[in-house]
């Protein structure tokens, strides 16, 4: 393959040169006397990204799935009831993990392309007079279908009903890319990964934990005889305790921590609201392109389309995998494939992280080349042109200021 | 701090430029159609490092402690009996993790500086006529005290007694540095980390799993009603299954995998026996230096001194932390501190991974500078000189051939 | 600026990650005993890129302009007559350098956009019965106007007339990108730079020197009393002599040499003819885009359009600098500006080096965004679409094979 | 070669990770609209390193030898008289270059190991009543013999005699490492290279030019008919003119410029006087080691020993190349070889740039290993020990403050 590859999957995202440089460091002793001077402010700044003042952010060497597990292991006991919904590959897998860890899951099966079913959640919580439900799962951004759920609405229900269940959010492909407000929404555990909005390599599970959650964990330890589901590696309390002075219960992935420092700086420098606006703008460009191609997104309700990934339905009779394969093999463009129930039916364009207009145009151009090869009927250039026209018509203030 | 820092801790080790370059890659799609062409041979070659043909090597985003947990969660059920020993910080922590995961641990407490107590293990296993002990833990190289245990001897006891317990080995600071023979020693789970003999950043738990172990896991799934301790993130079966075609159950840390490919190549190019010989030679240079300083190692039995780290006892009345602090703050030399029971009593010099004679001399020189500052009585240059004399007297064949 | 910058100038080109990695090495001693093992084969392989078997390739720390000077200083004496032509910024500057070095230049002034005037050269050489003209200059690819000249035609004239003048070629933006045949065309000095077809940072002047040229230099040293123009730093004979064993007359830029090894490997792996075909194909995509925009190239004769850079005339009344500034400031796209006589009249898209279809589409997309901002009338997407259609219609065999 | 190589030559020096990272950037357009914002302050800050307020610093893609040539070509005419001295490889080569460029050189031949002969210079200048001598050359630090000359003394002579000759200083291995005061010493052209005190890869000739020199150049251009020796690539006036707005007469080596920005920052952050003190301290450690080995430096007058490189005489009957070869081939240590008249008689330890105590100890340890192999009689550890004792006895304030 000659020339740069184009990464248009919904994570890993493109690696900013600044972050690459920040990680190009000699290895270091994580027990160095001055390590706290680096770690403590980093963890503090991560709280700004999660928008929490009362909670904590913990960073584990691991992948986002580890964050899912951390949420469950630290707070629940075997047999505890959990409310979840399956409307895509990742929301489904989290529910499956609950089953595997022998939690008692109330799973609401939805059509893939729907969002977290707010009304169904309300009904389930209303019915739960005994407060048997200990935790409610929300996948804020279902990466497989490009659908964003309304976390605030779930919080409102819980508040409305006075239901004490913990609120767990899978924010892997949303946090640091689209609006997320941990304190405002009363999220108890929020799971992010380094390879999405944080613009980093995979390897860190970044987990927000509320004060309420930590209190519950502290109380739990008093009744250790109970059959909890064992926390081990993902132990929030041990991590938080070691973090206080800037250290860790076991060897941290220091190289990635150096990258995380840089990417956190970059997010705060740009300003979270500007980050969110940029993601909306770039996503909207992609959506205009999709419409110009005569295709439609997998998301059923237009109000739920995701600003970090667009899953695009190919016409009946076409195989989305033909597009994906041609894009990868011929043009070096990595598009996201359809997973599980939508395999072969959708291809996905990720648009999150370190991204700007021309990078989106490159991905769209690559998709058009591949769509030609796969025999899809559309006017070459129409998608790119629609995105250009949108970008031209809707210039943000900071772009205009860049004279 | 002007000038290079010297990393003389027992991990992370020094990062070879080759490995750094191998990781300086654009991020990539771990679901790319051709990913299997990269992953499958890598996992195959890792088996050569572990010296297993019948077993498997699995790589998890995580830290070595995750490997400990993986061993336990995949194979044991709540209340299962485990035999372990505590003779240093890391052997002790693994035992503590067993307790936390509600296993029933027979722990043999030893003096720090001793190795795994072979005779006590024999007695415990002899007494276990009912084969209640399901797993035996051996910390091959206790990093906190610089002591190497005899894994083969434990295997011999199990064989001798016809005891079916699984044999779990913490090889975090031994595998890829000193002799390790997974098949030869009948090890069932062997835990390594990327930041030691593999000469990489922290971030990968590299775990060898025997065929016997996988069979046991396969059998287990038939009786899911049982109260196992939940495997989740560390699920060997799910990992092995996805690995067959070169993929993963969740996002792998691809950047580190690229580094691991390179470091595995480097180890195989050097030849494992040459790697082991080099570690012995460099370690012996350090030991000669320690003797020349008039100090002695923490390891009680000279036959058990480790070739990857030397823990050095400071004289009564001196504080090892004074040496460590001066080394770090004044000379940029990271020495290992005394952990737990030996805090303040020892400082440690790591000598593993990407290392040669002059790097050892630099670490020794830095230690001498710091020992001066800490007021230890010794002849400056004596340690370095003893190492030079040893290196000069004992030239390996490949050094002589390098003309 | 968020997101990657797009480099669409005719050099420096994009840096391949492989080359970046090859240069990410510790600094090294250029007098190391084994340096010859690296340098000698590298210089040998560079001859393949220049397509010379009888000549030599010399590498100087410096920039392409240094190569121009090297050609003149090593071979000519003050007052020697040189034949050149000015039809763009760079052809003009080389002629000016001849004047500055007190050579006696016959300069043929052409319209910018023309190529080397073959007929005028023939007449000048025919008129030179006394063979006063010692050297003939040809700028193979005029980077300022995107025009390629016919070097072979000039050689044919010299042969035809039996004229002994040396043939000097500025191949800075052509060698390693479009056809160049040093031996076949009888080129005596050929000048390249690292930052164009070699896909490297700026910093190396790479100069091909014919056997005839070296013989002439050897003969010259016999009559040192003569007033040559002093060769000093650029001394071909001293360089060639030191190179024989793999060393240099002064400190070489070793880091860049490591990169040059890698880029040379990449060119030879792809195959020079494939490299040339790729450049034609990508250039043609750009030309289709330009036509779709309703614009035309600066090159007057369509047969002379360059495959490494397209200079695009903006309509009367528009300022090309508006396009360039908007592209750079708003979208991070570096387009080439109009230089000298065509300032404000053209913007340039470079398309050479480490480049593929989607990178061209990104540059075109960025240009379209900027053309919108600059108020140029065109249909957004039309250029990108034309390129996509062309790329789709004209698939090379190796792309089709990439299944 | 396993393990890091040790670079103990007097340039290239070790590359600081900060500088490596600063150069790990995408390639960029040197004609970008905002380039001046980067270049202008950089050139301004370089003046602080040269300690000139009235002069200028110019940066050419090239090597230090190019700087020598630049000094000559810009200021002198064919046949102009130049006063120089040969007391080592590099002082000699500069004199030879003057001859090659047909200058009229008064060369004072000295024993290798001597410094610039101040008295002989005084006599020559006194005798030159007609002021035929247009330039005086001083090699401030003769890298081949480890000898520092007294530039201020030469300036004092010129002032004393009211002699108008230009003062040219080869500061390649001194500037940014040991005291250099361009304005204070009235230096007219000062030549540095990137790969020494600037801690960078080779590839930049960094040249200080006095206001007096630029005035002379400006005057010269009025009488262009004269036979100057042609300035071309190294044209100070063209460079200075383009630099005013932050641009260059030809493509600059931007990647190296990014590194130069970082290394300049590092020098200014440390403080030049601290840089000089550090070099003295580290050099003195090496000198103590040499004395402990029973060897002596090549520098004849102890007052002239260099703080950037120590050339060490081996005993009669020994071959210094045996030390150098063993060091390189067996231990990966690059020592400097003896050049020209001292080949085989000396080996050199460079101690400049990015260097601290333990790096010196590593080089000394490597030298000791190689001296053992070469059969030199000395007590292993004696040199390292002497250095440690010196470093311990003479702690600078900033080291003590590093608690």
Q: Are C20 and B24 within 8 A, CB to CB? A: yes
Q: Which long-range contacts (CB under 8 A, 24 or more apart) does B188-192 make?
A: B188/B75, B188/B135, B188/B212, B188/B213, B189/B70, B189/B71, B189/B74, B189/B75, B189/B213, B190/B50, B191/B64, B191/B67, B191/B68, B191/B70, B191/B71, B192/B50, B192/B64, B192/B67
User: Angle at Cα A271 formed by Cα A266 and Cα A273, nearest 5°?
Assistant: 135
Q: D47: exposed, middle or buried (C-beta count within 10 Å: 0-12, 13-18, 19+)? A: middle
Domain span including residue A210: 17-268
Subunits close to D (at least 3 CB pairs below 8 A): A, B, C
Query: Is some CB atom of chain D closer than 8 A to the CB atom of C66?
Result: yes
* Distant-in-sequence, close-in-space partners of B62: CB < 8 Å, separation ≥ 6: A60, A61, A62, A66, A233, B203, B204, B205, B233
CB count in 10 Å sphere of residue B345: 18
Task: Tell me the pLDDT band of D78, cut-offs 50, 70 and 90.
Answer: confident
Return the residue of B nearest to A252 by Cα. B202
- Residue ranges for chain B with pLDDT beneath 70: 221-230, 399-403
Same domain assignment for residues C187 and C277: no
Share in percent of chain D as helix, strand, coil (round to 5): 45, 15, 40
Residues in chain C, how many? 403
| D141 membership: H or E segment, kind and range | strand D141-142
| C105 membership: H or E segment, kind and range | strand C104-109
Distance CA(D140)–CA(D182), nearest Å, equals 12
Return the residue of C nearest to B33 by Cα. C403
Distance CA(A128)–CA(A124), nearest Å, equals 6
Out of A268, A292, A323, a domain closes at A268
Which chain D positions have a beta carbon within 8 Å of A24's beta carbon?
A: 17, 20-21, 24
CA–CA distances in Å: residue D61 to residues A202, C62, D93, D248: 39, 5, 21, 11
Query: Is residue D398 scored above 90 in pLDDT?
Result: no
Distance CA(A389)–CA(C294), nearest Å, equals 18
CB count in 10 Å sphere of residue D148: 24
- The per-residue pLDDT for D228 is 56
Instruction: Number of A to D CB contacts under 8 A, please give it.
Output: 16
**Nearest-10 Cα torsion for A250, A255, A256, A260:** 110
Q: Is the dihedral of CA C50, C56, C58, C64 positive or negative?
A: negative
Per the CB < 8 A criterion, the answer to whether D184 and D156 are in contact is no
Instruction: Copy the structure tokens of residue C293.
Output: 């925009």
Q: Are B24 and C26 within 8 A, CB to CB? A: no
Same domain assignment for residues D102 and D145: yes
Q: Are D27 and C14 within 8 A, CB to CB? A: yes
Distance CA(C328)–CA(A403), nearest Å, equals 9
Packed helices A36-50 and A236-243: angle between N→C axes, nearest 10 degrees: 120
Strand C141-142 versus strand C81-86 pairing type: unpaired
CB count in 10 Å sphere of residue C264: 22
Question: Mean pLDDT of all residues in chain C?
Answer: 95
Q: Are B355 and D2 within 8 A, CB to CB? A: yes
Q: How far apart are the first and last CA of chain D?
A: 37
Same domain assignment for residues D212 and D143: yes
Same domain assignment for residues A213 and A317: no
Which chain C positions have a beta carbon within 8 Å of A364's beta carbon?
A: 365
Q: Quote the DSSP letter at residue C332.
A: -
Distance CA(C283)–CA(C285), nearest Å, equals 5
Q: Is residue B394 part of a domain?
A: yes
Same domain assignment for residues D132 and D203: yes
Query: Is some CB atom of chain B closer than 8 A to the CB atom of C33?
Result: no
Distance CA(A340)–CA(A88), nearest Å, equals 8
CATH number, residue C118: 3.40.640.10
Same domain assignment for residues B226 and B294: no
CA–CA distances in Å: residue A386 to residues A283, A285, A381: 12, 7, 8
Q: Is residue C1 part of a domain?
A: no
Distance CA(D400)–CA(D402), nearest Å, equals 5
Q: Using alpha carbons, select from D115, D109, D167 the residue that is nearest to residue D141.
A: D115
Query: Is some CB atom of chain A closer than 8 A to the CB atom of D33?
Result: no
Percentage of the residues of chain C whose pLDDT score is greater than 90:
92
Q: Is residue A155 part of a domain?
A: yes
Same domain assignment for residues B298 and B361: yes
Query: Is residue D327 scored above 60 in pLDDT?
Result: yes
Q: Are D354 and B6 within 8 A, CB to CB? A: no
C100 → closest Cβ in D60, D232, D254: D232
Render the burial of B103-130: b for 16+ CB within 10 Å, e for the rest: bebbbbebebbbbbbbeebbebbeebee
Distance CA(D388)–CA(D284), nearest Å, equals 11
CATH number, residue C376: 3.90.1150.10
Q: Are D61 and C61 within 8 A, CB to CB? A: yes
Share in percent of chain A as helix, strand, coil (round to 5): 45, 15, 40
Q: Is residue B62 part of a domain?
A: yes
Which chain B positions have a beta carbon within 8 Å of A64's beta carbon?
A: 250-251
- The ipTM (two decimal places) reads 0.96
Subunits close to B (at least 3 CB pairs below 8 A): A, C, D
Task: Tell me the shortest Cα–Cα distance from A26 to chain B, in angstroms.
Answer: 7
Query: Is some CB atom of chain D closer than 8 A to the CB atom of C30?
Result: yes
Per the CB < 8 A criterion, the answer to whether A90 and A96 are in contact is no
Q: Are B21 and C17 within 8 A, CB to CB? A: no
Helices (H), C244-319: 254-270, 272-292
Query: Is residue C223 scored above 80 in pLDDT?
Result: no
Distance CA(D13)–CA(D65), nearest Å, equals 18
Subunits close to C (at least 3 CB pairs below 8 A): A, B, D
Domains in chain D: how many in total? 2
Query: Is residue C403 scored above 70 in pLDDT?
Result: no
Q: Is residue A1 part of a domain?
A: no
Return the residue of B nearest to D282 by Cα. B3
Same domain assignment for residues B291 and B366: yes
Query: Is residue C151 scored above 60 in pLDDT?
Result: yes
C354 → closest Cβ in A3, A366, A399: A3
Distance CA(B193)–CA(B173), nearest Å, equals 8
- Residue ranges for chain A with pLDDT beneath 70: 221-230, 399-403
Which chain B positions have a beta carbon within 8 Å of D359's beta carbon?
A: 3-4, 362
Average pLDDT for residues C3-20, to the nearest whole number?
A: 96
Query: Is some CB atom of chain D closer than 8 A to the CB atom of B397?
Result: no
Query: Is some CB atom of chain A closer than 8 A to the CB atom of C329?
Result: yes
Q: Are A66 and B233 within 8 A, CB to CB? A: yes
Per the CB < 8 A criterion, the answer to whether C25 and C38 are in contact is no
Per the CB < 8 A criterion, the answer to whether B193 and B62 are in contact is no
Out of B225, B240, B268, a domain closes at B268
Per the CB < 8 A criterion, the answer to whether C185 and C151 are in contact is yes
| D242 membership: H or E segment, kind and range | helix D236-243
Distance CA(D87)–CA(D94), nearest Å, equals 11
Same domain assignment for residues C156 and C54: yes
CA contacts within 13 A on the Cβ side of A85? 25
Same domain assignment for residues B173 and B210: yes
Which chain C positions have a beta carbon within 8 Å of A369's beta carbon?
A: 357-358, 361, 388, 391-392
Query: Is some CB atom of chain A closer than 8 A to the CB atom of D32?
Result: no
Q: Which tens digits make up the pLDDT trace of C346-370?
A: 999 999 999 999 999 999 999 999 9
- The per-residue pLDDT for C402 is 60
Distance CA(C253)–CA(D204), nearest Å, equals 9
CA contacts within 13 A on the Cβ side of C287? 18
Distance CA(B261)–CA(B252), nearest Å, equals 14
Distance CA(D114)–CA(D106), nearest Å, equals 18
Q: Using alpha carbons, select from C107, C74, C111 the residue that is nearest to residue C93.
A: C107
Query: Is some CB atom of chain A closer than 8 A to the CB atom of D99?
Result: no
Which chain B positions have a beta carbon within 8 Å of A201's beta carbon?
A: 27, 253-256
Return the residue of B nearest to A66 by Cα. B233
Same domain assignment for residues D300 and D335: yes
Q: Are C26 and B17 within 8 A, CB to CB? A: yes
Q: Using alpha carbons, select from C234, C243, C192, C196 the residue that is nearest to residue C60.
A: C234
Distance CA(D153)–CA(D24), nearest Å, equals 43
Which chain B positions have a beta carbon within 8 Å of D270's beta carbon?
A: 2
CA–CA distances in Å: residue B109 to residues A319, B89, B120, C45, D51: 63, 12, 10, 65, 67
Same domain assignment for residues C26 and C173: yes
Distance CA(D294)–CA(D308), nearest Å, equals 21
CB count in 10 Å sphere of residue B215: 10
Q: Using alpha carbons, select from A152, A164, A95 the residue that is nearest to residue A128.
A: A164
B202 → closest Cβ in A78, A230, A252: A252
Helix (H, G, I), strand (E, B) or coil at B141: strand
CB count in 10 Å sphere of residue A396: 14
Query: Is residue D51 scored above 80 in pLDDT?
Result: yes
Q: Is the dihedral of CA A109, A113, A117, A120 positive or negative?
A: negative
Subunits close to A (at least 3 CB pairs below 8 A): B, C, D
Query: Is some CB atom of chain A closer than 8 A to the CB atom of C372?
Result: yes
Q: Are D27 and C201 within 8 A, CB to CB? A: yes
Q: Which A residues in the span 290-309 are in contact with B, Cβ-Cβ below 8 Å?
A: none
Out of C244, C268, C292, a domain closes at C268
Which chain D positions have a beta carbon within 8 Å of B403's beta carbon?
A: 325, 329
Task: Tell me the pLDDT band of D224, cut-offs 50, 70 and 90.
Answer: very low
Q: Using alpha carbons, select from A109, A66, A101, A97 the residue that is nearest to residue A80.
A: A101
Longest dimension (CA), chain D: 67
Per the CB < 8 A criterion, the answer to whether D311 and D343 are in contact is no
Query: Is some CB atom of chain C closer than 8 A to the CB atom of D338?
Result: no
Query: Is some CB atom of chain D closer than 8 A to the CB atom of A17?
Result: yes
C17 → closest Cβ in B17, B20, B25: B25
Q: Are C202 and D29 within 8 A, CB to CB? A: no
Place of tokens 């390996």: B396
Q: Which tens digits make up the pLDDT trace of D290-321?
A: 999 999 999 999 999 999 999 999 999 999 99
- What Rg, from alpha-carbon coordinates, does chain D have? 21
Q: Are B382 and D385 within 8 A, CB to CB? A: yes
Per the CB < 8 A criterion, the answer to whether B255 and A202 are in contact is yes
């Amino acid at each position: 393959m000659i020339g740069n590859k184009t990464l248009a999957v919904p994570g890993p995202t493109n690696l900013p040169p600044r972050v690459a440089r920040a990680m190009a460091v000699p290895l270091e002793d994580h027990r160095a006397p001055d390590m706290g001077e680096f770690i403590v402010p980093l963890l503090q700044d991560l709280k700004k990204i999660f928008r929490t003042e009362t909670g904590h952010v913990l960073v584990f060497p691991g992948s986002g799935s580890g964050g899912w597990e951390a949420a469950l292991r630290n707070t629940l006991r075997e047999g505890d009831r959990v409310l979840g919904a399956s409307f895509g590959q990742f929301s489904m897998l989290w529910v499956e993990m609950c089953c595997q860890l022998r939690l008692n899951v109330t799973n609401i099966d939805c059509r893939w392309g729907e969002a977290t079913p707010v009304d169904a959640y309300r009904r389930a919580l209303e019915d739960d007079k005994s407060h048997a439900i200990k935790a409610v799962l929300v996948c804020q951004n279902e990466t497989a279908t490009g659908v964003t759920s309304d976390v605030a609405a779930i919080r409102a229900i819980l508040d409305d009903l006075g239901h004490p269940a913990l609120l767990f959010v899978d924010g892997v492909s949303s946090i640091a890319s689209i609006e997320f407000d941990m304190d405002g929404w009363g999220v108890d555990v929020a799971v992010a990964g380094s390879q999405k909005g944080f613009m980093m390599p995979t390897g860190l599970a970044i987990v927000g934990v509320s004060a309420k959650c930590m209190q519950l964990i502290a109380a739990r330890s008093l009744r250790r005889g109970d059959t909890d589901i064992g926390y081990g590696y993902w132990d929030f309390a041990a991590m938080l305790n070691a973090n206080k002075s800037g250290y860790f219960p076991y060897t941290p992935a220091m190289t990635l921590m150096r990258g995380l420092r840089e990417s956190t700086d970059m997010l705060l420098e740009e300003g979270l609201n500007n980050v969110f606006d940029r993601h909306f703008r770039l996503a909207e460009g992609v959506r205009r392109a999709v419409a110009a191609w005569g295709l439609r997104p997998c998301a059923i309700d237009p109000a739920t389309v995701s600003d970090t990934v667009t899953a695009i339905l190919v016409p009946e009779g076409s195989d989305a995998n033909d597009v994906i394969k041609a894009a990868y093999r011929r043009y070096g463009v990595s598009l996201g494939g359809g997973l599980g129930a939508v395999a072969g039916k959708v291809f996905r364009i990720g648009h999150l992280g370190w991204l700007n207009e021309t990078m989106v145009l490159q991905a769209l151009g690559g998709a058009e080349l591949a769509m030609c090869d796969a025999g899809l009927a559309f006017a070459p250039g129409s998608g790119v042109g629609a995105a250009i026209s949108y970008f031209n018509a809707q210039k943000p203030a900071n772009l205009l200021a860049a004279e």
